[in-house]
């Protein structure tokens, strides 16, 4: 805890108007403490023009032109992932206020937000450092975001046929996947798309990556876990001559003949955990890990 006012940057999802009540609670609490509040301009414009909210006294920033002591993500896990990429190399700790359904990353409930923020401002919190990954493409233009907190996947673009993915780890040939796609996930992303395709659950601080095939055309292909220091190179062949690269679920078209290289990003995402919240309790409560419904 410091004597100076904290600077809090707020990000949100412009398509979830029901969170305005919780947002006003957050804003009222921070103002009552004398903290400085900044809003992402797109979110600010949405709230003031579409919902006519009075946000007098806050600052507004554009793009990556911000610095803060904490970032608050108001939304679900998708909003949190976007905020994490915007923070990037700044290494600002992120507080996730859950306005979505699952809230595995955004795990502060709206009803608990004042208590959680008071705890954080008092300095009673832990920070989990989560590995992020980046993608570099060769032989084809890529105009999307290059960083992901959950996963980067190459996927077939049409419903007609699978793709062929020649995979190398640190310049050593691994295998050629015949599948609908391949997911390279961080430990954070191990409970997302990778899990739904049979991948393992990996604890965030293990410093690993997991390669999980999507609908492989083989019975003896299994997910494989590697060090996050490794560099993964993927060369894709497709009958449709193009394929998709999905960055935390946002898809971009690539042309056959282009290669994709995936490696650890030059930063980690720092997630604030107030009130002793821990990973395994989230697994049990939100993923129903080990639940016996008999």
Annotated active-site positions, please? Answer: 77
Can you say how many angstroms the Cα of residue 80 is from the centroid of all Cα atoms in its chain? 6
Degrees, nearest 5: CA angle 218-222-224: 145
Distance CA 146, CA 193 (A): 18
| CB neighbour list of residue 236: distance below 8 Å, 6 or more residues apart | 154, 163, 164, 165, 166, 243, 254, 256, 258, 260
Count Cα atoms within 13 angstroms, Cβ side, for 257.
6
């Amino acid at each position: 805890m410091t004597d100076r006012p904290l600077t809090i940057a707020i990000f949100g999802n412009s398509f979830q108007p029901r969170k305005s009540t919780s947002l006003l609670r957050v804003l009222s609490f921070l103002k009552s403490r004398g903290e400085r509040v900044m809003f992402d301009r797109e979110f600010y414009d949405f709230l003031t023009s579409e919902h006519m909210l009075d946000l007098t006294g806050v600052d507004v920033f554009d793009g990556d032109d911000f610095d803060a002591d904490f970032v608050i993500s108001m939304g679900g896990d998708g909003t949190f992932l976007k905020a994490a990429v915007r923070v990037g190399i700044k290494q600002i700790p992120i507080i996730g206020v859950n306005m979505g359904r699952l809230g595995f990353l955004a795990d502060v409930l709206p009803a608990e937000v004042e208590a959680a923020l008071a705890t954080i401002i008092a300095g009673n919190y832990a920070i989990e450092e989560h590995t992020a990954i980046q993608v570099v493409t060769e032989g084809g233009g890529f105009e999307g975001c290059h960083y992901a907190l959950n996963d980067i996947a190459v996927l077939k673009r049409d419903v007609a046929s699978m793709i062929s993915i020649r995979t190398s780890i640190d310049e050593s040939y691994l295998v050629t996947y015949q599948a609908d796609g391949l997911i390279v996930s961080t430990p954070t992303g191990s409970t997302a798309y990778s899990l739904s395709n049979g991948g393992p659950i990996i604890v965030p601080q293990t410093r690993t990556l997991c390669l999980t095939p999507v609908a492989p055309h083989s019975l003896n292909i299994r997910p494989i876990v590697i060090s996050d220091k490794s560099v993964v190179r993927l060369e894709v062949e497709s009958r449709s001559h193009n394929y998709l690269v999905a960055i935390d679920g946002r898809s971009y078209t690539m042309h056959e003949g282009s290669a994709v290289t995936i490696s650890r990003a030059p930063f980690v995402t720092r997630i604030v955990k107030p009130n002793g919240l821990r990973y395994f309790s989230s697994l049990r409560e939100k993923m129903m890990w080990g639940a016996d419904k008999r």
